[in-house]
Structures are given as C-alpha cells and as structure tokens.
C-alpha cells in the first residue's frame, strides 16, 4: 500500500515493485550507503542469475559502505550481480553496456547520510544524468528520483528535476510527483514512466 508508507524512499521502493521484474537490469545512480542498491538487487535477482544492478557514486566512502552492506546482506553469487563504479551519474552511458535494456534508473539526491554534507548532487550534473537515463531506459521502464526540499540547494535541485519531468513529451512519458501535502519539507519522489 504505497500511500501508507512514511518515508519517501519506501514510497519509491513500492513503486519500483510495480515496474521491475526478475532478470531486469537496473541502475542506482546514487549508491550512498547502499540501501537502494540492495532493494533493487532483491527485485531483479533470479535463479538464472540474469538480473543486474549497475551502481555509481562519486565518493569512494559511499561505494565502500555500499559494498559492505551488500557483503553483509547477500550471498556471494547474488553480490556478483551488482557492479559498482566510482563515476559521476552524468557518465552512466560509459559504464552501462550499450546493448542492455534498462528497466529502472533511480536517483536519491543530496548528500551521503553520515558523510560530508558539502559533497552533494548538483542540478547541472543531475540534469545531464536524467537526460542520459532518458536515453537508456526501455519502454515500460521508470526513472525515479527522491528529491530533498528542506534546504535551499535541495529546493533548487527539486525545481530543476520537476522542470525536466514537466518538459518530457506526453507521447513518450507519464510523469508525476508524490508530494506530502501536510509535510511540506518531506523529500518528494518524482516518477517518470517511459511509455
């Protein structure tokens, strides 16, 4: 039940479940501490070992945290399905093989929880990454972004993501946001469904 979830990331995970199937390839564009990466792997991992998660982050610390969460939580063969890259998400097309169809590209914007708050996603590269995601996502797929609006920089990035989603063609995309009306500072999930 999506609307009963309290956290924006849980709301996003619930929506992913309706889109992602076992065996799919998905992208975590902001690994951070790895909770989204793990949730994604649990959706795609299947017995034939086909599902894949490509994860990226610009901070070594984030990739180390993600790697240890995955080691704690997965079997070695499940963990092999996740590939992590120390790459800016605007360059995702350089690490994802050209011939794969991507079902989900997920962003959880902002800074690394428990890390350096000065190192955060910024609108300019976020927009480039959204454009790249739009190019690699397959029909029926989803771009998901959880955006923080409780501080000025986050608010600015929210406006940029919202403008990007609002500008996508109605022929190819269905875009919506799930803003909590009685919690105006809560992070906002924005969803872009590719037709």
Closer residue to ligand SAM, CB minimum distance, 58 or 74: 58
> How many whole angstroms separate alpha carbon 164 and alpha carbon 87?
22
Closer residue to ligand SAM, CB minimum distance, 25 or 121: 121
The binding site for ligand SAM (CB under 6 A) comprises 30-36, 56-59, 62, 88-89, 108, 110-112, 119-121, 125
Closer residue to ligand SAM, CB minimum distance, 92 or 171: 92
Phi-psi category of residue 80: left, alpha or beta, with phi > 0 → left and psi -120 to 50 → alpha: alpha
CB of 62 to ligand SAM, least distance (A): 4
CB of 114 to ligand SAM, least distance (A): 9
For residue 124, the Cα-to-chain-centroid distance in whole angstroms is 17
The residues near 8 (Cβ < 8 Å, ≥ 6 apart) are 146, 178, 186, 187, 188, 189
CB of 48 to ligand SAM, least distance (A): 27
Closer residue to ligand SAM, CB minimum distance, 114 or 140: 114
Structure tokens that stand for 195 in this block: 């037709």
> How many whole angstroms separate alpha carbon 6 and alpha carbon 182?
12
CB of 188 to ligand SAM, least distance (A): 13
């Amino acid at each position: 039940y999506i609307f009963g979830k309290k956290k924006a990331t849980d709301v996003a995970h619930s929506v992913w479940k309706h889109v992602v199937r076992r065996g799919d390839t998905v992208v975590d564009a902001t690994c951070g501490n790895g909770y989204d990466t793990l949730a994604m792997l649990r959706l795609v991992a299947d017995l034939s070992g086909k599902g894949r998660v490509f994860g990226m982050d610009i901070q070594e610390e984030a990739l180390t945290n993600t790697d240890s969460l995955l080691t704690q939580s997965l079997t070695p063969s499940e963990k092999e399905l996740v590939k992590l890259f120390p790459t800016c998400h605007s360059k995702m097309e350089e690490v994802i093989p050209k011939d794969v169809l991507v079902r989900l590209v997920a962003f959880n914007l902002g800074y690394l929880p428990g890390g350096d708050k000065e190192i955060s996603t910024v609108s300019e590269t976020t927009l480039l990454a959204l454009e790249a995601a739009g190019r690699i996502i397959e029909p029926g797929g989803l771009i998901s972004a959880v955006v923080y609006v409780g501080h000025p920089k986050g608010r600015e990035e929210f406006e940029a993501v919202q403008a990007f989603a609002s500008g996508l063609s109605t022929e190819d995309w269905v875009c919506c946001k799930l803003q909590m009306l009685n919690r105006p500072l809560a992070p906002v999930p924005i969803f872009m469904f590719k037709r």
